[in-house]
Amino acid sequence: MKNFMIKNCYIAVLCCLIICLLMEEARANYKEAQTAFRGRDYTKSAPLFFQAYAYPKDKAMRIKSEWGLAQSLQKMGFMYSASKFYSVIVRRGPKASNPYFRKALEELGRINNTASLGQSHVVQLFKTQVDPARIPGPARGFYFYYKGIEFFRNKKYAKAQDYFQRVPPSSNYHLKAMFHKGVIANLAGRHSRAISYFERVRTLSREGAEGDWLREQANLNIARVHYETRRYREAIRYYAEINRESENWLDAIFEAAWAFFLMQNHNSTLGNIHTLQSPFFENRFFPESYILQAITFLRLCRYDEVKKSLVKFKDRYRPVLKDVKSFLAATKNNPKLLFQTVYDYRAGSLNKYRSAWAILDALSRTDSYLEAGRTIRFADSELARLSRAPRKWRASGLLDELETFLRKKKIASRSGVGKRLFDYGKTYYTYLNELSDQTKLINAEMLLGKVDALRSKLKLDNEGAKKSYNFIGGMKPLNVGQDLEYWPFEGEYWEDELGGYVYNIDDKCGGAKKK
Amino acid sequence: MNKFTSFKSIMNFIFCIDTVKSHLCSRQSLWLVEKICLPQRLTVNWERWRLVCLIMLFLLPDFFSEKIAVGARFDDYEIRVIRPRYFSKRKKFELGLSGSVVTNQTFIYTYLGSLNVTYHFTEQFALELAGAYGFSIDKDDKRILDDDFSIKTQIIRTQYLMEGSVLYTPIYGKYQLASGRLIYFDTFFALGAGISGVDYNYEQCLPPEDQANPDSTDEIPAPQVYQYPTITFGVGQKYFINKRDGIKWEVRDHYFTYDRQDGGCPGEPSEKNPQHNMTLQVGYSRFF
């Protein structure tokens, strides 16, 4: 018994000695790290801070080392790696024992401006309840905007509006918040207010990638509000503002085709559809364009063309349905595989699901996929830089810690987006099935001679037709004194002509011929 | 689509008349040639008819313009592109610099540098004022004639040109390069009048002591420049590299009559002769 007690005492003393040694080492590391940080030698300070953080003398030292480590990493341009430690600080919330909360929040806001952290990352960050009064000035925009986004995604628009309202005008998030306020106003049926928000976004957006994106989204949304309120001419004016090089250009063309249809400007509708169905956009997903084409021809009593459009739809999309079904079945429980398939399609290395490429293309253009792509790119670039880090980083354990974090971030990003893409894929599949049913309906009603019944289902703008708005090709209005150029279409598509087509055919419904 | 080079023109018939089977002629151009310049009923001798067509082009611009306007809108086509004109010249000044060479001279090369100012009243019609000044270099043929055969020739050395022309642009077209870049062009015709300055140096004349008649006292005239009223007509194209600048080429015939006596040696009889100076001109234009 006595021997046992002596043995335990030895062990305890040994442990104390080891702890004391580690604490001493941590203190020494922390001091050395501080010196290196002050001397701007961040390559040296980062592993030292990490050692002091992993084996701290006390809690205070751990907190200080954590901050020092995040700062060192940020100064070296390892934004994602730094965000790991800043996020830990922010998630602890504003407490007396967490003195770096405010600063960490500000830094995360800055990082998010340069290397997007990803919406889900930021929303997760703000799960902790925080008194808004304790949010520091420079981080208020960042915080309130993402809190607004969280509520917006959960369709709690009043709460979201409240948060967006609090984003300060000086913040980088101000225009994005204003844009969302426009969307909320429109959802609430306050169309004029929505347009006024979008107009302000349009006017105040600065030059640059983000400004251009915001301006374009504002244009698109103004057009949609006008469309919704049956001001088709104004809608087309804003659709025409979307740049040809934009991702949204074909959407604008398609939506404008509907606007033209509702204005009974059928030649322009068909012209826009002609662009959408050109071989340049073989893999773009606009199945509804065939339906719109069919009903436009129906409206013009051109029954042979109606049949042709429906046949074209069937020929093009029946194989798509089959391939999409098998693609969704194969990736149902494997979101990473789904992401990888879309990624391979985008990279041009996919050899499967040939008929479903239009849908894969649509998936690869979703905001979620693009955001995940950015996250993965940033993570990969940091991983590549970390692989060249000094040996001390590996020895200290810092490198393993960061690599594990970045790899997990990539995996999480792939899985999260894979799940969302699966939902989108299912929606597209359902949509395509519905359109397929509509073609049967159009066919049946045409055969039964119920064209008038079908037409009455469409809310055509008779007033609009009477006003006879004049458009030249595409979405361009005819202006007085304008010099025009004409090009015939003879079966050969020219890239520069896309978006400028207009049909030149008559109404065959009897009575006076009109174009 | 992935064309190496594509070409699309509206009424590019002048270009195509000479190269009807050329790969550069699009179907549109041929369609126009067939419909307007080469109607189907003309089964033979279409060479003559195309000339008639060209003459009509010059003599009946209003009539032709109407035909063009109707044809160029492609009303018979089910699908067409209508859009604001890429490059509008209407009510714009054009300032151009170019270099030209007289291509049809046997014994000399004549190079001219020219400056032109053009005002475009409409897309089709413009008024151009141009001035050119240059110099001549003797060809080897002239030297061989002199050295080997003692033949001295009277040379028409064009020193300057001053002309005013009406430009008519009935044709516009576009090229698509392999890179996807589009280049628009205009094809125009010019008809005008002006003055040609011809420099005579009388080097073909012999001094009194070498003349056949030793009693002759006829001195070699001092070099001088004669001015002749000139009629000019031509055809050319302008390629628009952007919305302000263009590159142009043009072939022109400058026609005038001169008296052989003007540039002849003393005692040369008076004789009116026609002269065609065919110039090939390449230059740069800027629109204001």
Q: Smallest Cβ distance to A486: which of B82, B86, B123?
A: B82
A247-252: list long-range contacts, CB under 8 Å, 24+ apart. A247/A365, A248/A216, A248/A217, A248/A220, A249/A499, A250/A275, A250/A276, A250/A281, A250/A284, A250/A286, A251/A220, A252/A220, A252/A223, A252/A475
pLDDT recorded at residue A458? 59
A304 contacts chain B (CB < 8 A): no
Q: Calculate the average pLDDT of chain B.
A: 74
pLDDT recorded at residue B15? 35
Instruction: Tell me: pLDDT of B83 over 90.
Output: no
pLDDT recorded at residue A127? 77
pLDDT recorded at residue B7? 45
Q: Smallest Cβ distance to A472: which of B75, B82, B174?
A: B82
pLDDT recorded at residue B72? 58
**Per-residue confidence band for A465, with pLDDT thresholds at 50, 70 and 90:** low
Contact check, Cβ <8 Å, B83/A482: no
A493 contacts chain B (CB < 8 A): yes
Pairing of strands A484-488, B272-287: unpaired
Instruction: Tell me: pLDDT of A380 over 60.
Output: yes
User: Mean pLDDT throughout B182-192?
Assistant: 89
Mutate to test the interface with B, among A496, A502, A515 (most CBs of B within 10 A): A496
Mutate to test the interface with B, among A278, A483, A487, A497 (most CBs of B within 10 A): A487
pLDDT digits (tens, 9 = 90+) for B145-171: 777 776 777 788 889 999 999 999 888
Tokens (6 digits) for A354: 């040939």
User: Mean pLDDT throughout B76-93?
Assistant: 85
pLDDT recorded at residue A1? 59
pLDDT digits (tens, 9 = 90+) for B42-82: 333 444 445 555 544 444 433 332 222 223 567 778 898 88
Give me the amino acid identity at B77: Y
Distance in Å, alpha carbon of A474 to nearest chain B alpha carbon: 8
A244 contacts chain B (CB < 8 A): no
Contact check, Cβ <8 Å, A496/B182: yes
Task: Match 């940033």 to its residue by tokens.
Answer: A378
User: Mean pLDDT throughout A178-193?
Assistant: 94
Among A161-170, A471-480, B133-142, which range has the highest average pLDDT? A161-170
Instruction: Tell me: pLDDT of A452 over 80.
Output: no
Contact check, Cβ <8 Å, B1/A483: no
SS3 content of chain A, % helix, strand, coil (to 5): 70, 0, 25
pLDDT digits (tens, 9 = 90+) for A45-57: 999 999 888 887 7
The DSSP code for B268 is P
Torsion of CA B40, B45, B49, B54, to 10 degrees: 120
Return the CA Rg of chain B: 23
Q: Smallest Cβ distance to A279: which of B1, B85, B174?
A: B1
pLDDT recorded at residue B64? 31
How many angstroms separate the CA atoms of B123 and B116, rounded? 18
DSSP class per residue in B13-44: HHHHHHTTT-TTS-HHHHHHIIIIIS-TT--S
Contact check, Cβ <8 Å, A495/B180: yes
Residues of B in contact with A503 (CB under 8 A): 78-79
A488 contacts chain B (CB < 8 A): yes
pLDDT recorded at residue A360? 93
ipTM over 0.85: no
Among A416-420, A445-449, B71-75, which range has the highest average pLDDT? A416-420
pLDDT recorded at residue B167? 94
B197 forms beta bridges with: B160, B227
Distance in Å, alpha carbon of A278 to nearest chain B alpha carbon: 10
pLDDT recorded at residue B6? 44
Among A60-64, A308-312, A509-513, which range has the highest average pLDDT? A308-312
User: Mean pLDDT throughout A244-261?
Assistant: 93
Contact check, Cβ <8 Å, A274/B74: no
Contact check, Cβ <8 Å, B77/A500: no
Residues of A in contact with B1 (CB under 8 A): 279-280, 492-493
Query: Considering only CA atoms, which of A329, A327, A314, A333 is closest in space to residue A433?
Result: A314
pLDDT recorded at residue B30? 40
User: Mean pLDDT throughout B73-101?
Assistant: 86
pLDDT recorded at residue A466? 55
The residues on B that touch A, with CB distances below 8 Å, are 1, 6, 8, 10, 27-28, 72-75, 77-86, 88, 90, 123, 172, 174, 176, 180, 182
How many angstroms separate the CA atoms of A102 and A107, rounded? 9
pLDDT recorded at residue B281? 93
The residue of chain B with its CA nearest to that of A278 is: B1
Among A21-25, A365-369, B219-223, which range has the highest average pLDDT? A365-369
Instruction: Tell me: pLDDT of A506 over 80.
Output: yes
pLDDT recorded at residue B10? 45
Instruction: Tell me: pLDDT of A467 over 90.
Output: no
pLDDT recorded at residue B38? 42
**Per-residue confidence band for B4, with pLDDT thresholds at 50, 70 and 90:** very low
User: Mean pLDDT throughout B114-143?
Assistant: 89
